[in-house]
Amino acid sequence: MNNLRPALGIFGGTFDPIHYGHIKPVIDAAQQACVQSVAMVPCHIPVHKNHVPSATKHRLAMLRLAIEEYPQLYIDEREIHNSAPSYTIHTLRALRAEYPKHPLCFFIGMDSLHSLTKWHEWQALFDYCHFVVSCRPGIQKSVSSELQQLLNTRQVITNNALHNALCGKIYLADTPELAISSTDIRQRIQKGLPTEKMLNPNVRAYIHTHKLYQASTTF
Ligand code: ATP
């Protein structure tokens, strides 16, 4: 027994648009990690991307539609309404202050694990959260020596370890590989290619109604 509270999940992203490659792996990974609720945290200004995201109101509206059927997911709007660039470390510090006794599990895809050592204050992230990692296709199998070292010291095989400590572990979930990305979806919409298998139908309808991602549209 420990005196920790139930673990809280956090899943950050640009979600422009939110797609099945976000939702399905995170639902599976949360189940495997035994995390009952996950905050979806859309970022305001992504710090790792060149793409200028769609308007806040659209990304939020699509997120609301996409999570409707998943009671374990909810939206945390703290980053999207903050005019500063979205650094995960700042969000985690704020969450830790609010939830001092809850393990925090930050959900990422395998591509994000590969680039983790480039994140702002990346080493400090482990003082605030665990990482729960979903599979993502197209990611090289070999890892950098820095990442290998990180895995050697922090990887845990069972989900118990995520609930017995507030932070500091890496858990690799075994999730189905979905070859979906927001970039590809935006390009497909511009070219008039199908997106049915990638997007929730209500999100597709929203994109259509608001004419998002079309070549001549500016927001
Ligand atoms: P973009 O194509 O615009 O870069 P994206 O599809 O990668 O966007 P983000 O919103 O940047 O989506 O991703 C947020 C998080 O979701 C990241 O941790 C990323 O690794 C994860 N993710 C995105 N797509 C997938 C996928 N198909 N499978 C697993 N994880 C994913």
Q: What is the 3-state secondary structure (H, E, C) of the chain?
A: CCCCCCCEEEEEECCCCCCHHHHHHHHHHHHHHCCCCEEEEECCCCCCCCCCCCCHHHHHHHHHHHHCCCCCEEECCCCCCCCCCCCHHHHHHHHHHHCCCCCEEEEEEHHHHHCHHHCCCHHHHCCCCEEEEECCCCCCCCCCHHHHHHHHHHEECCCHHHHCCCCCCEEECCCCCCCCCHHHHHHHHHHCCCCCCCCCHHHHHHHHHCCCCCCCCCC
Residue nearest to atom 30 of ligand 1 (CA): 109
Over residues 186-211, the pLDDT tens digits come to 999 999 999 999 999 999 999 999 99
pLDDT at position 36 is 98
Average pLDDT score over residue span 28-39: 98
Confidence bin at 218 (pLDDT 50/70/90): very low
pLDDT at position 216 is 61
User: 56-67 vs 201-209: helix axis angle to the nearest 10?
Assistant: 150
pLDDT at position 141 is 75
Give Cβ neighbours of residue 47 (< 8 Å, ≥ 6 apart).
85, 86, 87, 120
Could you tell me the distance, in angstroms and rounded to a whole number, from the CA of residue 3 to the centre of ligand 1?
34
Other beta carbons within 10 Å of 185: 23
Residue nearest to atom 13 of ligand 1 (CA): 13
Pocket test for ligand 1, best of 136, 172, 186 (most atoms within 8 A of CB): 136
- Asked whether the predicted pLDDT for residue 217 surpasses 70, the reply is no
Residue nearest to atom 26 of ligand 1 (CA): 21
Pocket test for ligand 1, best of 135, 178, 181 (most atoms within 8 A of CB): 181
Average pLDDT score over residue span 121-143: 93
Superfamily name with CATH number, domain 8-209: HUPs (3.40.50.620)
pLDDT at position 14 is 94
Average pLDDT score over residue span 53-69: 94
**Pocket, ligand 1, Cβ cutoff 6 A:** 13-16, 21-22, 25, 49, 51, 108-109, 111-112, 134, 136, 178, 180-183
Average pLDDT score over residue span 120-133: 97
Average pLDDT score over residue span 129-140: 93
Spans of all domains in the chain: 8-209
Percent of the chain with pLDDT over 90: 85
pLDDT at position 1 is 63
The rounded Cα 192 to chain-centroid distance in angstroms is 27
Could you tell me the distance, in angstroms and rounded to a whole number, from the CA of residue 69 to the centre of ligand 1?
20
Over residues 135-188, the pLDDT tens digits come to 999 887 788 999 999 999 999 999 999 999 999 999 999 999 999 999 999 999
Could you tell me the distance, in angstroms and rounded to a whole number, from the CA of residue 153 to the centre of ligand 1?
26
Of all atoms in ligand 1, which is nearest to the CA of residue 108? Answer: 18
pTM over cut 0.85: yes
What CA–CA distance (Å, rounded) separates 74 from 72? Answer: 7
Could you tell me the distance, in angstroms and rounded to a whole number, from the CA of residue 16 to the centre of ligand 1?
10
pLDDT at position 53 is 76
Pocket test for ligand 1, best of 18, 51, 112 (most atoms within 8 A of CB): 112
Average pLDDT score over residue span 76-103: 93
Could you tell me the distance, in angstroms and rounded to a whole number, from the CA of residue 94 to the centre of ligand 1?
23
Beta bridge partners of 42: 13
- In the block, tokens 């899943």 appear at 11
- What mean pLDDT, rounded, does the chain reach? 93
- Asked whether the predicted pLDDT for residue 69 surpasses 70, the reply is yes
